[in-house]
């Protein structure tokens, strides 16, 4: 089932999940996951239009999740959200078709701009 107006946020930091909820929760169907393996089980059933994805997480890291999404040709736009230097993962992320990068701490205007560009 395609759910292209929905947003997934996958991050093991509850503070980041709370920030996305405060920024986008009133305006968009938002699904938040602190566990990347649980997120991919739901991704198997839904194809959100937008996924905000942390890189450094226990279990599957963000690059592995991004590869999993691309291996299944899901139409989801993936935005990497990280405090890590972009160059450290940029080559792998670009290889798997990352849409954009966001640096932590989050820039409210950038989150809203990306969301509007993808979902409208």
Instruction: Give the C-alpha distances (Å, rounded to integers) separating 25 from 20, 38, 45, 101.
Output: 7, 20, 21, 21
Domains of the chain: 2-119 (3.40.50.2300)
Instruction: Give the C-alpha distances (Å, rounded to integers) separating 65 from 10, 27, 39, 113.
Output: 10, 26, 9, 24
Residues of the chain with pLDDT under 70: 1-4
User: pLDDT per residue over 21-47, tens digit each?
Assistant: 999 999 999 999 999 999 999 998 888
Query: Which pLDDT score, from 0 to 100, does residue 29 have?
Result: 94
Query: Which pLDDT score, from 0 to 100, does residue 91 have?
Result: 85
Please give the Cα distance from 93 to 99 (Å, whole number).
9
Q: What is the pTM of this model?
A: 0.93
């Amino acid at each position: 089932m395609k759910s292209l107006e929905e947003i997934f946020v996958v991050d093991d930091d509850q503070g980041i999940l709370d920030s996305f909820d405060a920024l986008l929760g009133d305006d968009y169907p938002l699904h938040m996951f602190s566990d990347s393996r649980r997120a991919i089980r739901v991704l198997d059933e839904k194809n959100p239009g937008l996924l905000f994805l942390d890189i450094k997480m226990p279990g599957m890291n963000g690059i592995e999740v991004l590869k999993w999404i691309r291996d299944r040709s899901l139409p989801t736009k993936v935005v990497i959200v990280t405090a890590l230097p972009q160059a450290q993962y940029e080559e792998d992320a670009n290889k798997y078709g990352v849409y954009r990068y966001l640096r932590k701490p989050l820039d409210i205007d950038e989150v809203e701009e990306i969301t509007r560009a993808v979902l409208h």
